[in-house]
Amino acid sequence: MRKWKCTVCGYIHTGDEPPEKCPVCGADRSKFIEITDEKEWVNTAASKPDDTKKQNADTTDQKGFKKGFIDKIGKLMVKHHAHPISVHFPNGVLPVAVLFVFIAAVFDFHNLGQAAFYNMVFVLLTMPLVLFSGYNEWRRKYGGIMTPLIITKMICGGVVTLLATVLVIWSIINPNVIAAQSEHRWIYIGLGILMVGAAGVAGFLGGKLVFKD
């Protein structure tokens, strides 16, 4: 039985022909290459876009120390999994922050509302690293190819960042926005729940991309 490898995410398909689109990342069939033997699969799986850049290392070095240094940092970020590591920080704090907001709004617990605000600020401060490391990994590991999965992840990341910014600024302008007497508290909570949902979808798709299922 013939085997085909998605050059975007590394998914392996077994069949006479490649699928119309990759079931993992959504890339079309033109992104599949046939695997003729296991050694070739190992080599192609290890190569991806970084190998092309390694072949042009001399050209890159000639463009200056600064660009070479940035390129090296980018490669190290991919090698040491900077994106999945950085994602764990806001994803772990975000649900707690929204839960605190809900409890504070329902029971008029001001101190818990303050804790929720500081947690939300932490989430917002970590998002630039999450977005940059994700962009870096997409460019270097997945060749910068746009697929439905990648686009959805980007949208989710943007939604989380945008909503975190809105909620933090809203809390600064109106510190009592989640107080029991506030008529806007349920809108605030709804935006928080939407933010958690977007983060969950991004995490699910990231796991799908990594584990190829």
- The length of the chain in residues reads 213
51 and 86 both lie in a single domain = no
**In the predicted model, what is the mean pLDDT of the chain?**
85
Conformation bin of residue 167: beta by default, left when phi > 0, alpha when psi is -120 to 50: alpha
pLDDT digits (tens, 9 = 90+) for 102-139: 999 999 898 999 999 999 999 999 999 999 999 999 99
What CATH number does residue 48 fall under? 2.20.28.10
Residue 193 inside a domain? The answer is: yes
Residue type, 74: G
Q: Are residues 81 and 46 in the same domain?
A: no
Number of domains in the chain: 2
Are 120 and 181 members of one domain?
yes
β-sheet bridge partners, residue 13: 4
Q: Per-residue pLDDT tens for 179-189?
A: 988 899 999 99
pTM of whole model > 0.95?
Answer: no
What is the identity of the amino acid at 203?
G
> Do 50 and 80 belong together in one domain?
no
Dist. CA 8–CA 78, nearest whole Å: 15
Q: Domain residues for 19?
A: 3-55
Would you state the structure tokens that stand for residue 59, as one six-digit string?
């050209």
